[in-house]
Structure 1
Amino acid sequence: MKRTTSEGGFTLIELIMVIVILGILAVAVMGKYQNLQEEAKEAVIKGIAAELTSASKANFAKCAVNATSADCVQITSTTSCNSTAVKGLLTEDGGASFSNNNVGCTGGAGSAGNCTLTKDGHSAKARVFCTN
């Protein structure tokens, strides 16, 4: 009786083809995730601007209830965006730099102006609400 043996496994060509396909997939994935760091930096500055806008709205509400309260930060149209008053509304400025222009809200209490924040080459605008 003669026995026939059949060897199982992959040929060298099949293994090389799998490696080539994995390489192509890796290149495709790298293109998608290559710009994530810049997108993250942009998201950080937009988050800081959104926090400033929300804090400014909350500050306006506090001042509307009691303008003499210690919690009320007075912000006028001539308040600088780079001032301690505006920066003090944030819990953390994240290293962002603030534009030196005035808030510039027209129309008195409740009106809003823009402050531009910049960090790592990205910028975002925050709406700052005047209290008087």
Structure 2
Amino acid sequence: MTCLIALAYTLGPFTVSLITNSEGSVGTRWAYRSIFVAQYGFAAIATAFVFFMPESPWWLASKGRDEKALRSLKRLESSSSPEETMKHLANIKVTLEEIRRETAGVTYLECFRKSNLRRTIVSIAPLII
């Protein structure tokens, strides 16, 4: 989903600008409707392909579904050997454990305190713009 959103944010505005450039002088109702149709088209295509995408191995590992995470990694890393896939899963599990230790007892309120407030503003600013 993250890749599809990034793709939609990249190709969507490009497509809309092409449509606006060519349809901007047209006086019919389709001059503005074509932009909406193009944006919904990207959503429809993404929805059609979402069922063929494997689950995130990170999410599966965080929920304790190691066998499914391993299968998902094999699908995503088809050229890797089984040993490399097992090492990748072990690395994911170690990273998830570190994240659990670092974020134990932390709330979202921490994002708005002292130096974290600046980081929060910097990370949100591009989305607001």
TM bucket normalised to smaller:
under 0.3
- Report the TM-score when normalising by structure 2: 0.20
Q: Could you say which structure has the larger radius of gyration?
A: 1
- Report the TM-score when normalising by structure 1: 0.20
Larger strand percent? 1
Structure with more relative contact order (C-alpha pairs < 8 Å, separation 6 or more): 1
